[in-house]
């Protein structure tokens, strides 16, 4: 039996898919997997800021169409790029183990971290979540938009004369460029994007056979975190035009969930946390979103 796995063609997408396939092969030695690379609209538009073209779904729509058509049997994505609501006819399986959820600073030679950045330093990021949280601790920074794959962005430090950029630790670690990381930013300083570092495996809704196979690599802790953070995302109902983040810490039987929400201009950012039992992860995400929206809109 052969399973076709759809993926984008970027280096990160390919290593993520390769990792999932190799984990699946370890526990399903009789199954053959074939990787199918699919070019998406998001990959074709490279000159426009993501903020302007918006729509998170841009990178996944073509892949989802092939899945519905039956040309592929499963698809691997970065969970943080997936819209809160699944596409009709498709679903996400339980999730495999997450990579480091934090954001990192990659700085030019000679700079050792956030506290070491000179006054007015130029930092590249296209994410409002990263921008406004950085400005909260360092209002003097000059944040400039930047796009592209991980290696493209890193190369822009030199070609565009930046002092540094912000990236997800998970991406840079997965593509083997960990050595470029200057500083890990704690979740207390920069709340990560919901499900950052986690992978989404998407299948046809009625494909129980695929679901059984993917359940063989499921990670319970990651699932609790993703349930809490994505439930927050879903209830906030935001776009990528607003600063928004969520991170769930697990301590034994309990979760500690932090959520962030702001307006488009970043003038007002609300951050709150909630504690609950692991089994209430989804409820907690929803409750936290409601608390934050209420506080944000009342103040
Ligand atoms: N928005 C692009 C994107 N989508 C997923 C990752 C990294 C992997 C992850 O977050 O799981 C990245 C790069 C980045 O944000 O630095």
pLDDT tens digits for range 124-174: 999 999 999 999 999 999 999 999 999 999 999 999 999 999 999 999 999
Quote the pLDDT of residue 195: 98
d(CA 299, CA 296): 6
Q: Which of helix, strand or coil describes residue 138?
A: coil
Q: In CATH, what number does 1-98+192-218 get? A: 3.40.190.10
What pLDDT band is residue 54 in, cutting at 50, 70 and 90?
very low
For ligand 1, whether the C-beta of 171 sits within 6 Å is: yes
Structure confidence by residue, pLDDT tens digits, 269-288: 999 999 999 999 999 999 99
Does the structure's ipTM exceed the value 0.85?
yes
Assess whether the region 1-98+192-218 and the region 103-185 belong to the same CATH fold.
yes
Give the residue, by CA position, lying nearest to ligand 1 atom 2: 81
What pLDDT band is residue 47 in, cutting at 50, 70 and 90?
low
Strand-by-strand arrangement of the 244-251 sheet? 244-251, 254-262, 269-277
Q: Single out the residue of 133, 154, 149 nearest to residue 78, CA to CA.
A: 149
Asked whether residue 53 carries a pLDDT value surpassing 60, the answer given is no
Q: In CATH, what number does 220-299 get? A: 3.30.160.40
Return the domain boundaries, the chain. 1-98+192-218, 103-185, 220-299
Taking the CA of residue 193 as reference, the ligand 1 atom at the shortest distance is 10
The structure's pTM equals 0.93
Q: What's the mean per-residue pLDDT of the chain?
A: 93
In the residue annotation, 73 being an active-site residue is answered as no
Give the residue, by CA position, lying nearest to ligand 1 atom 6: 171
Structure confidence by residue, pLDDT tens digits, 55-87: 556 678 889 999 999 999 999 999 999 988 889
Is the CATH number of domain 103-185 3.40.190.10?
A: yes
Structure confidence by residue, pLDDT tens digits, 206-230: 999 999 999 999 999 999 999 999 9
């Amino acid at each position: 039996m052969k399973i076709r796995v759809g993926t984008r063609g970027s280096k990160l997408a390919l290593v993520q898919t390769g990792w999932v396939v190799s984990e699946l092969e370890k526990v399903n030695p009789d199954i053959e997997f074939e990787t199918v690379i699919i070019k998406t609209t998001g990959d074709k538009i490279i000159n426009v800021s993501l903020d302007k073209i918006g729509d998170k779904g841009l990178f996944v729509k073509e892949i989802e169409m092939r899945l519905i058509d039956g040309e592929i049997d499963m698809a691997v994505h970065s969970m943080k790029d997936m819209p809160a609501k699944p596409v009709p006819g498709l679903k996400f399986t339980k999730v495999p183990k997450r990579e480091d959820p934090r954001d990192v600073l990659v700085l030019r030679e000679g700079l050792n971290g956030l506290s070491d950045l000179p006054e007015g330093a130029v930092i590249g990021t296209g994410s409002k979540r990263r921008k406004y949280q950085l400005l909260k601790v360092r209002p003097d920074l000059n944040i400039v938009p930047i796009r592209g794959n991980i290696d493209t962005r890193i190369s822009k430090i030199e070609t565009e004369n930046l002092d540094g950029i912000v990236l997800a630790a998970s991406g840079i670690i997965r593509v083997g460029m960990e050595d470029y990381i200057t500083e890990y930013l704690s979740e207390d300083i920069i709340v990560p994007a919901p499900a950052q570092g986690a992978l989404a495996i998407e299948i046809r809704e009625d494909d129980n056979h695929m679901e059984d196979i993917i359940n063989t690599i499921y990670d319970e802790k990651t699932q609790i975190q993703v349930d809490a953070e994505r439930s927050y995302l879903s209830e906030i109902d935001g776009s990528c035009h607003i600063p928004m983040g969520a991170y769930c810490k697990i301590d034994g039987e309990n979760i500690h969930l932090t959520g962030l929400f702001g307006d488009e201009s970043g003038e007002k950012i609300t951050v709150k946390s909630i504690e609950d039992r692991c089994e209430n992860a989804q409820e907690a995400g929803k409750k936290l979103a409601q608390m934050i929206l209420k506080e944000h809109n009342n103040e």
